[in-house]
Structure 1
Amino acid sequence: MSESVRDDVLPQDSAPPSVASFAQLGLPAEILRTLDEHGVTVPFPVQAATLPDALAGRDVLGRGRTGSGKTLAFGLGMLARTAGRRAQPKEPLALVLVPTRELAQQVGEALTPYAEALRLRLATVVGGVSIGRQAAALRDGAEIVVATPGRLHDLVERKGCRLGRVRIAVLDEADQMCDMGFLPQVTEILDQVRADGQRMLFSATLDRDVDQLVQSYLRDPVVHSVDPSSSAVSAIEHHVFVVHGPDRYAVTTEIAARDGRVLLFLDTKHGVDQLTRHLRASGVAAAALHSGKSQPQRTRTLAQFKNGQITSLVATNVAARGLHVDDLDLVVNVDPATDPKDYLHRAGRTARAGRFGTVVTLVLPGQRRETSQVMADADVTPKVTKVRSGEAELSRITGAKAPSGEPLDGAAAASRPKNHNAPFRGLGSTKDAKSGSGGRSSRKSSEARKLAEARKAARVRRGG
């Protein structure tokens, strides 16, 4: 494709249009009324830039950082252009493809009030829940479908969905869908929608496989890059905390025990589960989120995190894209990101919708060089601080404090010393608490002494 739309030389909007209200964009009265009811009055830059082209039926290629308002940017135009039409059973009229279940549900929830105002039916199609129920929703007729590629592919294969009448197709977080290996399914789906329909592609970056999608499926797209990825976190303070291995869990625990919510990222499901168990044993209201959890579990956990029942969400990168939580001001990379795009998307969970936030990355001394390179590639210059648990600087930056130590839900206080004055040096680095007074070793020593004394008494009785 033309080099003019590649990520490194993408043309920038000289100045986003100055739009004081959504009413200036030509949206239907029903949408304007619903926006007002939800307190949404002034469009974000990406919305002001792209909605006129979306409403005009143009193909749109948009790059904007996560949290910049892309959902309404493509969603309102799609809904307005679909209003007044009626879908036949199994034949939706508009489609939004997203990479993860959480993002699909979030997009569906965000668009539902506006769809209902226009009397449009919206179905969310994701894995991990009953495919039969989703097939029934499509069979009843849904004008708008928000889907992950895998589950939509399954429904098409089962003849539960036909895409030939889809006249508006949106790809949200296109770069992640490519990174996750969805490109073959995405292209297969796009090959089935109306060839003369409208395409809108939104992504944080427009490189590699995303180029292929643009070249193959977008016709003379209008390009908008309102929030380029290199400026992705201007509203965020970035910190790197250099910690010693034995102190890593103690630092993490004190941060998680802060007043207010925190999102903690680790690389593996096992690591997420282990840290969650430890935090709950320490008295922190924590929950785990990763691909090994069922979809109802994941949905319930996110709801509890958003309403404050859970204050520490411990997650793999499944939560790095699309997750929106109001007023989330702290993200912690317990395991440092090894890819600049992953770092930016993790960081993008805070400072959303024009707010400010803090991102902290914990690194061991041996990880500093690799982490510095990732930060440089992400065009981020963090403040580097050596910290230890219990220090004032740790509390100043993150609000860290000592946990209550009262286990939740009967969780065992794994690897916590009984003496609370003793420094806690992290899971896997303390001696087994049972090996101290009253522990297994003590019991064995006591039994050995009793046996020796019994043998001695027997010898005395025998005259030995």
Structure 2
Amino acid sequence: MQSPFTIQELVIPEAIAGGDVLAKAPTGSGKTIAFAVPLVERTDPKAQTPSALVLVPTRELASQVAGECAALSASMGLRVAAVYGGAPLRAQAKRAAGAHILIATPGRLQDLVERKLLSLSNIRTLVLDEADRMLDMGFKPQVERIVRRLPVQRQTMLFSATLDGEVGELARSFTKNPSRFETEEKPDRNEAEVSHRFESVSAEGKVERLIQELEAERGLALVFVRTKRGADRLAKRLARHDVAAIALHGDMTQSARERALERFRSGKIKTLVATDVAARGLDLVDITHVINFDPPEDDKGYVHRVGRTGRAGRTGSGVTFVTPEQQGDVSRVAARLGHREQFENAGMRSAPLKRVYTSRRGRRSKW
């Protein structure tokens, strides 16, 4: 990083001064450093129990945030621990109890606290990272119960892609006179650095077309599929064609997921086949290609998926495979996101836009 990202320049001075912060920033905008630096600066290495808590929605994000905090705090004598589901509970509890900075998913943290394996009575700083996604994933009750256990006198920082609706309500109840910062800046500083391409394919020819994409000059490639079984099946089919790939999905054990991510992160395996849930929080600057082998369910899914590439000033490419029966739905997403021209350049016709209805109880209709 040559210079601080906007969110870092805005947040760090206020956070180091001890003020509450509300920050609207997209995933990958440099926000982890924006709260990690103040945490390290304000945490007392003499503390015997955790004094800083970062709540995150997924275990992958917990591991990544813990890694960044550990790198910053190594010279300060601070211990950092990550707490998330799918790993041995007692061992996590022991590490967490002796840490200065705690990174946790809400479910596992609540479990440890209710079993009296961990105390939050000394927490002086709370960070809610990707608060919108925590609510989307149904963690609001756990988050509220955790926050009720924290000291009233504390610093609170909330980071989210949106600050309205439920997130806004959460912010009002958790913070006191917060400073509010907003930035739409992407880490690449230029949205045009991520190219968007749509490929017309047949169901029978999708794998062959994917192999052609993966054999091109590239860095790491993240391939999205719709189902867990589909991830396993596609990784095996690629292997039969001498394309080294590994699957990542929710049915894998935590140790298997971590091994898969490490092999991908290190570049030993350059192709990761993943489901949406498994790839949440994945933030690797070396991902040059995101390939939607199966199209995402909606606009938000497309943005989240393709947003995995083009990080930290790098260029990236988002490629979406479209079968004939998917063309109408995918064309509407492309049009709403400003990619109609790229869609039609692939020789496909755009369908008329449809009104999409949303209810508070019901799920948003597809596309």
TM-score, scaled to structure 1? 0.70
Counterpart check, 1:62 vs 2:31: no
Q: 2: distance between equivalents of 1:73 and 1:327? A: 21
Counterpart check, 1:132 vs 2:93: no
> Which residue of structure 1 aligns with residue 224 of structure 2?
265
Judge conservation of contact 1:103–1:321 (CA < 8 Å) in 2.
yes
Counterpart check, 1:300 vs 2:259: yes
Q: 2: distance between equivalents of 1:382 and 1:59? A: 43
In structure 2, do the counterparts of structure 1 residues 207 and 290 end up closer, same or farther at CA, with 3 Å as the change threshold? farther
Q: 1:154 aligns with which of 107, 111, 115?
A: 111
Paired residue secondary structure (2:312): helix
Q: 2: distance between equivalents of 1:219 and 1:298? A: 39
Supply the AA of the counterpart residue of 1:274. Answer: R
> Which residue of structure 1 aligns with residue 247 of structure 2?
288
Judge conservation of contact 1:285–1:309 (CA < 8 Å) in 2.
no
Q: 1: distance between equivalents of 2:259 and 2:217? A: 22
Q: 2: distance between equivalents of 1:204 and 1:382? A: 27
Judge conservation of contact 2:250–2:278 (CA < 8 Å) in 1.
no
Paired residue secondary structure (1:95): strand
Q: 1:327 aligns with which of 286, 310, 314?
A: 286
> 1:316-355 CA deviation, whole Å, 9 max, x = no partner?
1134432122322110111111222222121121111122
Judge conservation of contact 1:285–1:310 (CA < 8 Å) in 2.
yes
Q: 2: distance between equivalents of 1:225 and 1:381? A: 28
Judge conservation of contact 2:285–2:314 (CA < 8 Å) in 1.
no
Judge conservation of contact 1:262–1:332 (CA < 8 Å) in 2.
yes
Q: 2: distance between equivalents of 1:238 and 1:346? A: 12
Unaligned regions of 5+ residues in structure 1, if any?
A: 1-39, 388-464
Supply the AA of the counterpart residue of 1:352. Answer: R
Paired residue secondary structure (2:272): strand
Deviation at 1:245, TM superposition (A): 2.1
> 1:136-195 CA deviation, whole Å, 9 max, x = no partner?
1134x2111001111111101111112222111111111111111111111111121122
Q: 2: distance between equivalents of 1:279 and 1:239? A: 22
Judge conservation of contact 1:339–1:374 (CA < 8 Å) in 2.
yes
> Which residue of structure 2 aligns with residue 94 of structure 1?
52
Judge conservation of contact 2:6–2:185 (CA < 8 Å) in 1.
no
> 1:373-421 CA deviation, whole Å, 9 max, x = no partner?
333444555612448xxxxxxxxxxxxxxxxxxxxxxxxxxxxxxxxxx
Paired residue secondary structure (1:329): strand
Judge conservation of contact 2:51–2:123 (CA < 8 Å) in 1.
yes
Judge conservation of contact 1:65–1:232 (CA < 8 Å) in 2.
no
Q: 1: distance between equivalents of 2:338 and 2:174? A: 31
Q: 2: distance between equivalents of 1:377 and 1:195? A: 44
Larger Rg: 1
Judge conservation of contact 1:153–1:189 (CA < 8 Å) in 2.
yes
Deviation at 1:84, TM superposition (A): 4.1
Judge conservation of contact 1:63–1:206 (CA < 8 Å) in 2.
yes
Counterpart check, 1:236 vs 2:197: no
TM-score, scaled to structure 2? 0.88
Q: 1: distance between equivalents of 2:339 and 2:346? A: 19
> Which residue of structure 1 aligns with residue 183 of structure 2?
226
Paired residue secondary structure (2:211): helix
> Which residue of structure 2 aligns with residue 206 of structure 1?
163
Unaligned regions of 5+ residues in structure 2, if any?
A: 348-367
> Which residue of structure 1 aligns with residue 137 of structure 2?
180
In structure 2, do the counterparts of structure 1 residues 283 and 65 end up closer, same or farther at CA, with 3 Å as the change threshold? same
Judge conservation of contact 1:164–1:193 (CA < 8 Å) in 2.
yes
> Which residue of structure 2 aligns with residue 107 of structure 1?
65
What is the percent sequence identity of the aligned residues? 43
Q: 2:315 aligns with which of 356, 369, 384?
A: 356
Q: 1:118 aligns with which of 61, 66, 76?
A: 76
